Amino acid sequence: MKPHIAVVGSINMDLVFRTPRIPAAGETLTGHSFHQIQGGKGANQAVAAARMGAELSFVACVGDDGFGTSSLRALEQDGIATNTIRQVTQCATGVAGILLDDAGQNRIVLAPGANAQLNKVDIDAAIHTLTQAQLLVCQLESPLDTVLYAIDCAKNAGLAVLLNPAPAQALEDKVLAQVDYLVLNETEASFLSGQTVTDGASAQSAAEVLQQRGANVVVITMGALGVLVAEKGNASLAYLLPAYAVNVVDTTGAGDTFVGALAVAIAEAQELRAASMFAQSAAALAVTQLGAQTSIPHRKAVEALRNSVITL
Ligand code: RIB
């Protein structure tokens, strides 16, 4: 049987400018190229989970513009049902303006558009399919009260909850206590823990703070520095998985790819270390390609990369 993942989150159209460097204030800079690519953390994570072989229940909002319609069509091409995605009338689809420099680093500005309209009624309307899933995945590009409501519904129905608190915002301890898997990058971990994360040791300290605040499993993704996985309750259950050495083209969506792949591996009852390695393999492939959903690999490629490391 396919793993079944529920995602409550955002859909954006990414407007990507490839540029030699980030322009200074007041400067006009000619870039290399422009690309319009499907994105949004919720959609990226749903697509990643679908490409890893999961069945998806995805609750989101788009506008009644061309970006919204093309986002729905793209999700359908990945086998994701769109009947729980509301097309909000007289509203723009979420847009992300992305500057991508020659080092593969990005700067993103969001205009939430229809994502800001996602509400509890949308969750209630989809509750039957949401609660059929094994795991709920959320991020913070949607209104916080809607995300917290979805988490409450999931816990009441016995689902595990994976929260990717991105973009970072303050969360109460009682929210962290509802999260089975808190998956975040070093910036978000620094913000939520008050500990600056720069390496494996500082990531472990941050994970301990987050666990003292109530989180269960904490996974901190740190790009080339690897991934810190902290299981609950025992310092010896924290370990750093080194990063793959890959040619970085664009990091956009790599964290989302990690989340989607990790969710599927957890739903398949893979042991956490193996699940994290699987997710890391998926993210490593994602950074080698331009864009968010254009870079998310399919399962066969992810398994091939992971197996090449395991058999070394
Ligand atoms: O995490 C990457 C995503 O962040 C992009 O696709 C962009 O839409 C923003 O939401």
Ligand 1 pocket: which of 109, 252, 257, 296 to mutate (most atoms <8 Å of CB)?
Answer: 252
d(CA 236, CA 6) in angstroms, rounded, equals 31
Q: Which residue owns the Cα nearest ligand 1 atom 6?
A: 39
CB of 87 closer than 8 Å to CB of 64: yes
> 279 CB less than 6 Å from ligand 1?
no
> 292 CB less than 6 Å from ligand 1?
yes
**Which DSSP category does 245 fall into?**
-
CA of 141, closest atom in ligand 1: 10
Per-residue pLDDT band at 299 (split at 50, 70, 90):
very high
Per-residue pLDDT band at 104 (split at 50, 70, 90):
confident
How does pLDDT run across 203-218, given as a tens digit for each residue? 999 999 999 999 999 9
Placement of tokens 């989607």 in the chain: 260
CA of 255, closest atom in ligand 1: 1
Q: Is the pLDDT of residue 294 over 70?
A: yes
Q: Which of 156, 149, 193 is nearest to 173 (CA)?
A: 193
Tell me, what amino acid is at 307? N
Ligand 1 pocket: which of 71, 108, 250, 293 to mutate (most atoms <8 Å of CB)?
Answer: 108
**What's the gap in Å between 286 CA and the centre of ligand 1?**
13
Q: Which residue has the higher pLDDT, 310 or 272?
A: 272
> 96 CB less than 6 Å from ligand 1?
yes
Worst-scoring range by mean pLDDT, 67-76, 101-110, 215-224? 101-110
Q: What was the pLDDT predicted at 222? A: 97
Q: What is the CATH number of domain 4-21+34-180+246-310?
A: 3.40.1190.20
Known catalytic residue at 256: yes
> 137 CB less than 6 Å from ligand 1?
no
**What's the gap in Å between 114 CA and the centre of ligand 1?**
15
Placement of tokens 């206590």 in the chain: 177
**What's the gap in Å between 212 CA and the centre of ligand 1?**
29
Q: Is the pLDDT of residue 236 over 70?
A: no
Q: Which of 136, 115, 120 is nearest to 178 (CA)?
A: 136
Q: How large is the average pLDDT for residues 223-238? A: 86
In the chain, domain spans: 4-21+34-180+246-310
Structure tokens at 168: 């970072």
Per-residue pLDDT band at 105 (split at 50, 70, 90):
confident
Mean pLDDT for the chain overall: 96
Q: Is the pLDDT of residue 114 over 60?
A: yes
How buried is residue 241: exposed, middle or buried, by Cβ count under 10 Å (0-12/13-18/19+)? middle
Q: What was the pLDDT predicted at 312? A: 47
